């Protein structure tokens, strides 16, 4: 019964949030629910700890250091009150506001003979008691379910990514500068084995992306084939070809186009090292309906450096779009709700990117660090070219069996190269947590958010800088904290001394 309730709650969470003034309206490939947080596309975290009761930073770390669990149920609820000294994030005449928050976060995973599923979500209901903004339900959800219709030969995939996106690059990330986005993907995967060591994977996926306000709704169709050879029980070499067509509801604002990829792939899953290397070519016909070809490269490497630390590196060069980028966002070491950058267009762009993550958890200490960099090049609409980078650090320490501390921060830099605007913003803070019982936690947290921008909008409007101080006191209920592999009773999953 408990599993049924939690799974149902995970599935309906995006619908609950979308029901608040959202108008579901549609391209992306099947999103990975990443095992290592923070290694993906860069995205900003909501400033000022707007997710006060979210999964405590570092809880993913200890689980990621151990073997991937076949079954995992981790969830928590929290409620509390806070205060901000600059609720509108302005540079002049800051206004204080009292805040009330209720939070839900969960990480659910299941592996079975008929169904594999994972659901990760962070949601908060935030009330501004003096009426600065209306009641807000903010959150991020990433879910993936694979039904095994015919053993491991025929599978059906259903995936969903839901969250917030910034709407104005020149304004601070406040509740009025956000819109809800949902990416839904489904389709079959067929696996054939002509011989003991060879395999053929055929897949077809339909994706729909819906924006709350922007006229970017649309869908895409993707078909692919992979022809490979199993080099050993742990490694394979294959050739992959894919074709994708992107179609939009509003063709007065958006232009339909197609993409193609062909590349070789080497995959190894070792006891301590995992490598997924892809090299080939990719094409797009979004400029004058003629095909352009450019090299394609992707590399994802995970190395278990020791029983206590994990290193992850990723990088590449590929064509993508706003929907595909949205699905690959991760929260980074700072935790909280990740917010996608402004989707100023649905145009195809060339993405060059690199990211790294390091997790360390031993005895009473956890350390989590992530860094992401990305350059987006729109050949059809070069006005929207951008470079984005983010850095996040988080340190947790169990002071006693009941009391623990945490400090950390995030820093983001967005350069809108042809719009003459650079946005630098971040958050630094820390907190104390006390566990009076096995499953209950009381914690207090302080965060300082800031923004330092340069340049202005085309209209001449200068983007405001700001500083904000925010405090929260929360009471939470987090069962299973002592029963999960590698987890302890300290703040952020730090094992007890």
The predicted-structure confidence for 40-96, as pLDDT tens digits, reads as follows 666 666 654 444 444 343 444 455 566 667 788 888 889 999 999 999 998 888 999
Name the helix (H) or strand (E) containing 319: strand 309-320
Segment 267-279, tens digit of pLDDT:
999 889 999 999 9
pLDDT per residue as tens digits for the range 395-408:
989 899 889 898 98
For the domain 2-493, what is the CATH code? 2.40.170
Calculate Rg over the CA atoms of the chain. Answer: 22
Give mean pLDDT, residues 10-20. Answer: 40
User: 385: which DSSP letter?
Assistant: -
Q: What is the pLDDT of residues 292-325, one digit of tens each?
A: 999 999 999 999 999 899 999 999 999 999 888 8
Q: pLDDT digits over 153-188, tens only?
A: 999 999 999 999 999 888 888 888 899 999 999 999
CA-angle at 14, arms to 13 and 15, nearest 5°: 90
Q: How far apart are CA 362 and CA 309, in angstroms?
A: 8
Domain ranges of the chain: 2-493
Q: What is the DSSP string of 417-449?
A: TTTTEEEEEEEEEEEEEE-SSSSEEEEEEEEEE
* CA separation for the pair 308, 21 (Å, rounded): 45
Which residue shows structure tokens 């997710």? 51
By DSSP bridging, strand 466-477 and strand 71-84 are antiparallel
For 318-375, the pLDDT digits (tens) are 999 988 888 887 777 667 788 888 888 999 999 999 999 999 988 889 898 999 999 9
Bridge pairing between strands 349-362 and 136-150? unpaired
What is the pLDDT, as a whole number, of residue 70? 77
Closest alpha carbon to 191 in 180, 202, 175: 202
> Is-contact 335 47, C-beta < 8 A?
no
Query: What is the separation of C-alpha 294 from the centre of its chain, rounded to a whole number of angstroms?
Result: 27
Strand partners, 218: 209, 248
Question: What is the C-alpha separation between 178 and 43, in angstroms, rounded?
Answer: 13
Average pLDDT score over residue span 436-440: 85
| CA atoms of 83 and 79, how far apart (whole Å) | 14
């Amino acid at each position: 019964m408990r599993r049924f309730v939690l799974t149902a709650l995970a599935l309906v969470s995006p619908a609950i949030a979308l029901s608040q003034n959202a108008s579901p309206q549609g391209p992306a490939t099947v999103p990975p629910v990443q095992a290592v947080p923070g290694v993906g596309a860069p995205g900003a975290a909501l400033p000022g700890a707007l997710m006060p009761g979210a999964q405590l930073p570092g809880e993913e770390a200890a689980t990621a250091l151990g073997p991937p669990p076949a079954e995992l149920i981790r969830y928590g609820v929290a409620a509390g009150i806070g205060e901000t000294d600059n609720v509108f994030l302005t540079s002049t005449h800051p206004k204080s506001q009292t805040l009330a928050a209720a939070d839900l976060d969960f990480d659910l995973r299941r592996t079975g003979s008929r169904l594999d599923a994972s659901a990760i979500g962070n949601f908060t209901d935030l009330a501004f008691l003096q009426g600065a903004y209306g009641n807000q339900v903010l959150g991020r959800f990433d879910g993936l379910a694979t039904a095994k219709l015919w053993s491991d030969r025929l599978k059906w995939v259903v995936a969903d990514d839901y969250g917030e996106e910034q709407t104005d690059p020149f304004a601070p990330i406040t509740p009025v500068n956000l819109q809800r986005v949902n990416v839904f993907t489904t389709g079959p995967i067929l696996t054939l084995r002509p011989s003991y060591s060879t395999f053929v994977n055929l897949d077809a996926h339909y994706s729909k992306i819906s924006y709350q306000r922007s006229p970017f709704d649309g869908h895409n169709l993707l078909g692919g084939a992979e022809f490979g050879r199993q080099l050993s029980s742990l490694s394979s070499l294959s050739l992959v070809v894919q074709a994708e067509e992107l179609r939009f509801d509003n063709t007065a604002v958006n232009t339909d186009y197609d993409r193609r990829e062909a590349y070789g792939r080497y995959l190894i899953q070792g006891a301590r090292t995992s490598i997924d290397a892809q090299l080939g070519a990719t094409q797009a016909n979004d400029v004058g309906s003629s095909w352009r070809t450019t090299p394609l490269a992707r590399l994802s490497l995970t190395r278990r450096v020791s029983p206590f630390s994990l290193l992850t590196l990723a990088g590449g060069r590929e064509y993508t779009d706003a929907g595909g980028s949205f699905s690959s966002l991760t929260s980074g070491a700072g935790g909280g709700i990740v917010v996608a950058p402004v989707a100023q267009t649905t145009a195809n762009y060339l993405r060059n990117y690199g990211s790294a993550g390091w997790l360390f958890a031993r005895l009473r200490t956890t350390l989590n660090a992530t860094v992401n960099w990305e350059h987006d090049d729109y050949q059809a609409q070069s006005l929207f070219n951008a470079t984005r980078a983010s850095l996040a650090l988080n340190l947790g320490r169990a002071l006693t069996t009941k009391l623990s501390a945490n400090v950390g921060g995030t820093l983001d830099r967005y350069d809108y190269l042809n719009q003459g605007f650079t946005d630098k913003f971040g958050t630094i803070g820390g907190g104390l947590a006390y566990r009076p019982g096995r499953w209950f936690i009381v914690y207090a947290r302080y965060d300082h958010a800031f923004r330092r921008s340069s340049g202005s909008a085309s209209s001449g409007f200068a983007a405001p800088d700001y500083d904000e101080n925010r405090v929260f006191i929360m009471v939470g209920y987090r069962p299973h904290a002592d029963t999960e592999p590698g987890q302890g009773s300290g703040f952020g999953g730090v094992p007890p001394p």
